Amino acid sequence: MTHTLELGIPGLRLTAGDHVCAFYRGAGERDEILIPYLRTGLLTGDKCICVVDAVDPREVLAALGSETEVDEWISDTQLELRASTEAYLRSGRFCTEEMLEFWENFVGPAVTGRFRFARSVGEMTWALRQVPGVEELVGYESELNRFLPRYPQVILCLYDLERFGGEIIIDVVKTHPRILLGGMVVDNPNYLEPDEFLAVRSRSVPVNTHRSAG
């Protein structure tokens, strides 16, 4: 039987193995996705792994629940919350292999241990900065689709439409089988499997992750 779970937004559900690109505009809309997604997972017993960039992790903790609840989730290792500099950029640069290892180290032991399911989320605004390795972003997103089927899990990637330019959004869409936009989760007809995406990308000019002018 296919494992489904509540996204945290009324009426929206995800399926085990989903790699979802969540588009939003600004911090308010981000939090309307991020906080319910995590809190719902925590209350249902999922392992939750969150990496944020444009918001202080302490603000996320304060929004998730009472101090007692949060302390219990952390001490029980049910909740792992990191800044982008402790995950995507922990070696001072972005590296696809290192980030896949990061997810493996948290998800693998969790779901082969005492957690039945893992829900992860990453805020992607770190990719707007001029950091070494940032050009690997969309290749990394594609490679995540090989990692997801290995465990009972979902991964949500947060992209702020007010900050990312059109070119990168086009490639990001191609690497996510499902999209969350405007309060709906839809199957993505433009999704390309990793081998197909990488073959296409190898023939194209690298895109700019930075915000479009205007």
Task: Please provide the average confidence, as pLDDT, over all residues in the chain.
Answer: 92
Which residue type is seen at 73? Answer: W
Q: Measuring CA to CA, how many Å separate 25 from each of 32, 60, 141, 207, 212?
A: 11, 18, 21, 21, 15
Superfamily of domain 15-202: P-loop containing nucleotide triphosphate hydrolases (3.40.50.300)
What pLDDT is recorded for position 123? 98
CB 193 within 8 A of CB 112: no
Q: What's the pLDDT at 211?
A: 43
| Strand bridging mode 178-181 / 184-187 | antiparallel
Considering only 72-81, 186-195, 205-214, which range has the smallest mean pLDDT?
A: 205-214
Sort 25 into a burial class: Cβ within 10 Å, 0-12 / 13-18 / 19+: exposed
pLDDT higher than threshold 70 for residue 196 = yes
Say whether 157 sits in a helix, a strand or coil. Answer: strand
Digit-coded pLDDT (tens) for 89-119: 999 999 999 999 999 999 999 999 999 999 9
The number of angstroms, rounded, from the C-alpha of 174 to the middle of its chain's C-alpha atoms is 15
What is the pTM for the complete model shown? 0.91
Structure tokens at 89: 């950029």
